[in-house]
Amino acid sequence: MDIRGRRKSSNVEDRRGMRPVRTGVGLSLGGVLFLVVLSLFGINPLPFLGVATKAPEVQMQESAEPYQETAQEAQLRELTAVVLADTEETWGAILPQYGVQYVEPKLVLFSGFVQSACGTAESAMGPFYCPLDQKVYIDMSFYEDLAQRFGAPGDFAQAYVIAHEVGHHVQNLVGTAEKVRGLQERMSPADANALSVRMELQADCFAGVWANHAARSRQLLEAGDIEEGLNAASAIGDDRIQKQTQGRVVPDAFTHGSSEQRARWFRKGLEAGTPDVCDTFSAKQL
Ligand SMILES: [Zn+2]
């Protein structure tokens, strides 16, 4: 991606200097079922569902010294702000065509732990979107995981992560997230998982819609970027992650979709450039 001279979003909230202080017992992110199911990215959330609705509550405190970032982290922060700005352009233009005003989400950078309106999260859970405060949370160390553990390096792979989480924000704005949540409460775990997959694949498709606009309207993409994005989408497919973590694939426990599905829906959005093609909920075949 060529981000030189691009607008940077003013919606980035840098909380990397904050340190956790334990204050007692409260709700952890792992206990908030709907959030885990809908918003966790790149990690099979099932192991978290059984754990702790009671976890130590963590209060974040501003540390006296500002966060010292490396040159690489500064670059990542810039990339993040440029990509977020570009998603603002894209969805700010698209959603009004559907009668929905685009409310720009905040993006919180954190390191280690973070407190969201949905509970306390740690970086190991991966980037997520909290519908209650309409914020995307990212510990930039995930980008390193993405490159090393998941074999998806590159700036566009990182951009795809942001665009996917912003996709969840769009789902929240148009009311899909709430509808799905309501249905899931009355479903068997397997059916609820199947619905989560549709939700996640739609966020992938929305990420593709963004990539289309970034490329077409603003020439943000360079050669090789699309491949990086497709590679990232398939690298974090449930089947690949399950194989890595449990040594076998359990389709019933899929909540994000297989590698092939994720890459395919991303490409669908990318080629069409409109969310009209992203109706994963009525698609007979995912
Ligand atoms: Zn997601």
- Interval between CA 63 and ligand 1 midpoint (Å): 31
pLDDT digits (tens, 9 = 90+) for 173-197: 999 988 988 898 888 888 888 888 8
- Interval between CA 200 and ligand 1 midpoint (Å): 5
Average pLDDT of the chain to the nearest whole number: 82
Tokens of 84: 């977020």
**CB contact set of 65 (below 8 Å; sequence gap of 6+):** 17
- Interval between CA 37 and ligand 1 midpoint (Å): 8
- Interval between CA 165 and ligand 1 midpoint (Å): 6
- Interval between CA 262 and ligand 1 midpoint (Å): 11
- Interval between CA 127 and ligand 1 midpoint (Å): 9
| CB-based neighbours (< 5 A) of ligand 1, an ion | 41, 200, 203
State percent of the chain over pLDDT 70.
80
Residue 28 three-state SS: strand
pLDDT exceeds 90 at position 38: no
- Interval between CA 204 and ligand 1 midpoint (Å): 8
**DSSP character for 112?**
S
- Interval between CA 66 and ligand 1 midpoint (Å): 31
Q: How far apart are CA 40 and CA 139, in angstroms?
A: 13
- Interval between CA 64 and ligand 1 midpoint (Å): 34
Cβ atoms within 10 Å of 45's Cβ, excluding its own? 23
pLDDT digits (tens, 9 = 90+) for 250-285: 666 677 788 899 999 999 999 999 999 999 999 988
Confidence at 21, pLDDT banded by 50, 70, 90: low
First-to-final CA distance of the chain: 30
Confidence at 57, pLDDT banded by 50, 70, 90: low
**CB contact set of 50 (below 8 Å; sequence gap of 6+):** none
State percent of the chain over pLDDT 90.
40
